[in-house]
Amino acid sequence: MSKKAGRPRLNISDEERKERHKASARKSNQKHKLRQVTIDKDLLERFTRLKEISSKKVQVDLTNRQFFKLLLINMEESNDNN
């Protein structure tokens, strides 16, 4: 007979499991100071298209976070020049 390795599953309901997962995600987001940003479909399409253009320009697949940082840096630089 083979036994499963590892820690056994907690004896809690699926609803409790979901709540524990949500609480864990909230705690992690607070710890890492993460915030969700919501944009509508049109803006997301524009963002994605411009990210692809920038990725080709720098010859690296940019993540959303990297591209967002580039946008902010460019805006700060253009404001500093004014």
pLDDT at 1: 54
Kindly tell me the sign of the dihedral angle through the C-alpha atoms of 29, 34, 35, 36. Answer: negative
Q: Cα 1 from chain centroid?
A: 43
- Could you give the C-alpha distances from 27 to 14, 20, 67, 78, in angstroms and in order? 20, 11, 26, 36
Residue closest to 22 by CA, chosen among 39, 37, 30: 30
Q: Cα 11 from chain centroid?
A: 31
Q: Which of the four pLDDT bands, split at 50, 70 and 90, describes residue 2?
A: low
**Structure confidence by residue, pLDDT tens digits, 26-82:** 999 899 998 888 999 999 999 999 999 999 999 999 999 999 999 999 999 999 887
pTM of this structure: 0.63
